A and B are shown apart, each in its own frame.
Chain A
Amino acid sequence: MKKTILILSIIFLAMALNYTYTTASSRITVSISPPSVQANMGDKITYEGTITNDSDNPVNNLITYISLANVTHGKEAPMDLEDWSADKAIKVDTIPPHGTYKGKWPMRLIDSGSYVAYITVVDKNHNTPVSSMMSHLNVKRVLRLNPNNVLPVAIGEPILIGAVFMFISFKRRNRVK
C-alpha cells in the first residue's frame, strides 16, 4: 500500500512539475509579419518577428530563428536558409515583464514555389519551443536573360581580347619574315 502511495505521489509530482513547465513556457508568444507574401524570384523581403513576454517576470537568454519549408506539390522539403541569406539566429538577452522584442530576418528569394515561414523561440530553461503562425510565401519564377547587362560583357570581352591578339599578330607577321 505504502509502495502504491509512493508511486502515485511521484507520478503526481511529475505531472505537477510538467504543468508548471508548460505554464512557464506559455508566458512567451511569438508572431510573424507579414502573414502572407507574394513576390518574384530574386526579390529581397524581410520578415519581422515579435516576441512578447506575457508574464510578470523578465525572460532571459532566448534564441529565436526563422524556418522555411517548401510546400510546393512534389517538392515538399525544409529549406537550407543559408542559401536564402537568412540563416542567422538571434539571441535575445532579456525581455522585461509584458515587454516585446522585434527581430528582423531579411531574405533573398532564390527559387520559385510555395513556402511557409515561421519563427521559433527557444528558452533553454523550458522544454517546449514556441513557434509563430505560418506565413505563406509564394515566389513567382522570373526568367532573366540579361541581368545587370551581363551578356555584352560575357560575350564581348573574350571576343575583344581575341581581336587584340589578332591585331598584334597581324602587325608582327607583316614585320618579320
Chain B
Amino acid sequence: MKTLYIMQKEIRESILTPKGFLWYILTSIILSVLSYLFLTNRELSLLDQGTMLYMIMNFITALGVLMGLVFGSDAFAGEIERGTLEALFLSPVNRMEIAAGKLGAVLTNWGIIFAVSLPYLFIVGKGGQNLLMGILYLGILGTLLSIIFSAFSMGLSARIKSMKNSLIISFFVFLLAGSPVFISAALRRTWFGRILDLVNPFADAVNTFDSVVIDSQGFSYQIGRVAIICVYTLLCIWFLKRSAVKLEM
C-alpha cells in the first residue's frame, strides 16, 4: 500500500505535470508525422505495412526506454539533490517499497506511451500482417525493457547520487545497446555480430519484433530472445534492490 502512495506521488510529480504532458504531446506529434509520412509520402509509403509497423514499434520502444532512463536517473539522485529523500527514508517504509513505487511510476509512463501509440499502430498496421501479435509483443517486451533500463538507471542513481552522472552513464549504456542498429547487416551475420545481438536486450526486442511482424514467425522462434530479456529484467531488479538497500545519504 505504501508503495502505491509513493507511486502516486511519483506520477503526480513526473507525469501529471506540464513537463510530463509535453513529453506525451511531443510523442504523439512525432508519431503523427511519422505515420502520415509512412502512409502518404512516396518514398516512405513504399514500405509494406509490416515494415512500417516494425519501425514504429522500434521507435516507441526506444522512446519508452529513453524516458525510463530519465525517470530512473532522477529517482534517488534527484531526491537527494532536492533534499527530499531523507524525509522519505525517515518514514517507516523500506527501501524496496520506495524503489518499487518509483519503478511503478516508470511503468505507468511506459503504459501511457503505449496507450498514446496504439491508435497510430492500428492506423499504420491496418490491413497489414501480424498487427495484433505485434502489439502484444510490443506491450510485453516494451514493459520488460522499461523495467531493465529504468531499474538499471535507478540503481545507478542510488549508487552515484548524482542525477547528471547517472543520466550520462545510462545514456551511454542505452547507446551501446542501440549500437547494433548502426552495425552493417553483413557484420551482424557473423558469429561476433550474432553474439552481440543476442546478449543485448534491446537488439533482442528489435529482432523479435522483426521476426514476429515481418517474418510471421511463431513464439518458438522467440523463446531464446525473450528468455534473455527476462534474465536481464531479473538482474536489473536485483541490482536496483542491492543499490537501494545499500544507499547511504
Contacts and interface: CB of A to CB of B under 8 A. Distances in A.
> Is any CB of A less than 8 Å from a CB of B in the complex?
yes
Contacts of A148: 39, 123-124, 126-127
A153 B25 contact: no
Contacts of B18: 165, 169
Residues of B in contact with A, size category? 20 to 34
A164 B28 CA distance: 13
Interface string A67-103: 0000000000000000111000000000000000000
Contacts of A42: 45
B116 A161 contact: yes
Given A84-B46, A155-B32, A165-B18, A150 B25 contact: no
Nearest to B51: A85
B123 A149 contact: yes
Interface in B109-128: 116, 119-120, 123-124, 126-127
A27 to B, nearest CB: 35
B46 A150 contact: no
B31 to A, nearest CB: 8
B42 interface: yes
Contacts of B119: 153, 157
Contacts of B33: 154
B21 A111 contact: no
A1 interface: no
A157 B32 contact: yes
B36 interface: yes
B40 A145 contact: yes
A153 B47 CA distance: 20
Most chain B C-beta atoms within 10 Å of own C-beta, residue among A144, A151, A153: A153
Given A153-B120, A157-B116, A157-B119, A110 B28 contact: no
Nearest to A144: B40
Given A145-B40, A147-B39, A165-B25, A110 B46 contact: yes
Contacts of A84: 46
B40 A161 contact: no
Interface string B103-144: 000000000000010011001101100000000000000000
Interface string B38-57: 01101101111001000000
A142 B119 CA distance: 25
B35 interface: yes
A153 B35 contact: yes
Nearest to A83: B46
Contacts of A83: 46-47
B24 interface: yes
A83 B42 CA distance: 11
A144 B29 CA distance: 20
A158 B35 contact: no
Most chain B C-beta atoms within 10 Å of own C-beta, residue among A42, A84, A157: A157
A161 B42 CA distance: 29
Interface in A123-174: 144-145, 147-151, 153-155, 157-158, 161-162, 164-165, 168-169
B184 to A, nearest CB: 15
Given A147-B40, A150-B39, A161 B46 contact: no
Interface in B56-98: none
11 contacts: A85-B47, A111-B42, A111-B43, A148-B39, A148-B126, A148-B127, A149-B123, A150-B36, A150-B39, A161-B21, A161-B116
Given A111-B43, A165-B21, 5 more contacts: A110-B42, A148-B39, A151-B36, A153-B120, A165-B18
The 3 closest A-B pairs by CB, nearest first: A110-B46, A154-B32, A165-B21
